[in-house]
Chain A
């Protein structure tokens, strides 16, 4: 058990009161869905894994990514990608510049531009590089946000209620796209949601918190 994302005896508490505890190994290409009503601390778990836990929370336990202990690593050195329910595209950058922000440094300007175009082609948004993200539809934004995250070559993917803002028709489409891409890249995926459909579609193990 080397590859994948492991949560070892993770306990998160606030003001001395334990909120949640979880132990689980997520294999590459597998999805772990964490369910539970709002306020139970699902997003807090993700904040712990990304390294952005607010200072009023206390956490114990370890997070291992591909065998490396990242529990105390800086947020930007963890190689853990995350998608929220909002696309959170940087509003001051064009679509292309948003993707380039994710792209790792290196390569000539032309090569980087080509990679950005390629990523846009992959999700059917060819020629969108110069667009203002605010002018995109909800589904288009979700696709850009996904490709931006994948271009940063993460080793794991976290999903925080990622599909709850999308309407029913788009939802299945975007969801399939995200899970397909994650599986193709053999990423371990940790998703928190309160939506049973999403949990079903993920097709992996389900852990229910609180309630």
Chain B
């Protein structure tokens, strides 16, 4: 009976937990941006922070970087995913990519970025593999590849991580699009595979994946950890500069940071509007292209190219992990040797104890946050089922909202606000901040399988006189063990990968694997970075492995539950 009282309020509580910090953070950004910061003895309103911001010589370049990396990363990863799916869905190479999806997804952004840097830097693994044989280099060439002025490496680092995310989302949308039959019909009408797919299936699929595409755009424009590792330094992208201002001991610099954060928000909103406009233009051109009736002469080339691009993107992440693994056990490794002179466990013994402390902190935060997120999610979905309350079509945008507002726009404000009311920074606020980002992913991961459950099972169980709680605990949750564990693993991985919330809300006092690893970026100790990066990857990857293994073990004698 008790449950009946709090279950209906869970959806509201969930929205509050998810959107409350965002709203508070934006408020906390707005005030100092207009010169109001009582903690520093300043009161507004004034336009000085914006004047200071626009006086900063690096601003035009920082703004350009934010826009160009964001748009490029989104366009490229979307194009790869769409064309690979169009050309290859249902084939063997595609299934291979699908199998790689979960591990690729769970590799944290920072670890993937380090891997990429270790691969393509002038003294990176690729350069070592072809030197001096092909290049003739006996010392690393003086090229600015990593942290290049144009942010191209940073864009590449974003692409290799967004491709698996968008592919996962696309696969989920394909299930509801009746894709196979449409393509079969199109092919019977003489259309090539890619062209047929683009003309018949893509419009339906895109309508479904639009929110996550927007998330990719907003994220790529405002990312901090990848930008610190792979992005240019002079000047850095706007998001990185905001964090620099925030960590300045001079409290007055927070005003400039807040003004920058508002500008960042404006940039993202502007880019989303441009993207929306691009969708309309694309739709118009697409309809004309369909009406022209072209059958797709270049389909085979396009398909091959897309597969190469998709495969390369997956390979970069995997090779990046490999080179991290090699560095973590490398003794002396001179250029241009392809492999270290000797392998040693010394690096692990040196950095291992430090990573274990960080692992403990990471695991504690991730477990609490992921479990709370799962509890709220199951509560919301069960309330929706029992009372017909619904997080339906329109409210789905609310779930995406925390992911669409750039982290750099509201986290600084949240920190300033906490400072203002004298709240202590530390572990608990960090957990609450993580929850904002973990909840949407856990919800999105569990919602479809939870709703797809055959409700006649519930009718049968109720007819067998099981109470609503009994149905939930004894029938629905056990049957959904696999998706529940997957959602939990997603939540853990998202929490493990969080950089900015941990850094800002933790006030530098909460050291997780991610903050420690990113902090090592400027030092350039490859062995330390490798150990931390691998531990970070492991912390995200192991839960996914367990989420696959446990249901297989628990339900080993239950054939009806073996395939989802």
User: Interface on A for B, CB 8 Å cutoff?
Assistant: 47, 50-52, 54-55, 74-82, 84, 86, 88, 90-92, 101-102, 104, 132-135, 148-149, 152, 154
Contacts and interface: CB of A to CB of B under 8 A. Distances in A.
Contacts of B467: 74, 76
Contacts of B460: 82, 84, 88, 149
Contacts of B557: 132
A102 B479 contact: no
Contacts of B459: 47, 50, 52, 75, 82
A91 B468 contact: no
Given A75-B463, A92-B560, A148-B464, 15 more contacts: A47-B459, A50-B463, A52-B459, A52-B462, A54-B388, A75-B468, A76-B468, A80-B463, A82-B460, A88-B457, A91-B479, A91-B558, A91-B560, A152-B463, A152-B465
A86 B457 CA distance: 10
B559 A134 contact: yes
B470 interface: yes
Interface in B521-548: none
B478 interface: yes
B47 interface: no
Question: Which of B464, B471, B557, B560 is most buried by chain A, counting CB atoms within 10 A of its CB?
Answer: B464
Contacts of B481: 92
A132 B463 contact: no
A77 B388 contact: no
23 contacts: A50-B462, A52-B458, A54-B388, A75-B459, A75-B463, A76-B467, A77-B465, A82-B459, A82-B460, A91-B558, A91-B561, A92-B475, A92-B478, A92-B481, A101-B461, A102-B464, A132-B557, A132-B558, A132-B559, A133-B560, A134-B558, A134-B559, A154-B463
B559 A76 contact: no
Interface string B292-309: 000000000000000000
Interface residues of B, number: 29
Interface string B463-503: 11111101100110011010000000000000000000000
A84 B456 contact: yes
Interface of B: 388, 454-468, 470-471, 474-475, 478-479, 481, 555, 557-561
A44 to B, nearest CB: 13
A54 B390 CA distance: 13
Contacts of A51: 462
A52 B454 CA distance: 13
A90 B463 contact: no
B465 A90 contact: no
Nearest to B471: A76
B319 to A, nearest CB: 41
B69 to A, nearest CB: 46
Question: Which of B456, B467, B471, B479 is most buried by chain A, counting CB atoms within 10 A of its CB?
Answer: B456
Given A92-B478, A92-B479, A81 B463 contact: yes
A76 B470 CA distance: 10
A104 B462 CA distance: 13
A81 B407 CA distance: 53
List the 6 closest pairs (A to B, CB-CB), nearest first: A91-B560, A55-B388, A134-B559, A134-B560, A75-B462, A76-B462
Question: Which of A52, A74, A154 is most buried by chain B, counting CB atoms within 10 A of its CB?
Answer: A52
A152 B464 contact: yes
Contacts of A91: 479, 558, 560-561
A182 to B, nearest CB: 14
A58 to B, nearest CB: 13
A149 B463 CA distance: 8
Given A88-B454, A91-B560, A134-B560, A82 B463 contact: yes
Question: Which of B462, B481, B561 is most buried by chain A, counting CB atoms within 10 A of its CB?
Answer: B462
A118 B467 CA distance: 26
Contacts of B456: 84, 86, 88
A50 to B, nearest CB: 6
Contacts of A76: 461-463, 465-468, 470-471
A1 to B, nearest CB: 24
A68 to B, nearest CB: 15
B555 A104 contact: no
B558 A92 contact: yes
Contacts of B555: 92
Contact of A149 (B458, B464, B559, B560): B464
A98 to B, nearest CB: 9
A118 to B, nearest CB: 18
A87 to B, nearest CB: 9
Nearest to B466: A76
B388 to A, nearest CB: 4
Nearest to A81: B463
B337 to A, nearest CB: 55
A92 B479 CA distance: 6
B556 to A, nearest CB: 10
A104 B465 contact: yes
Nearest to B457: A88
B362 to A, nearest CB: 33
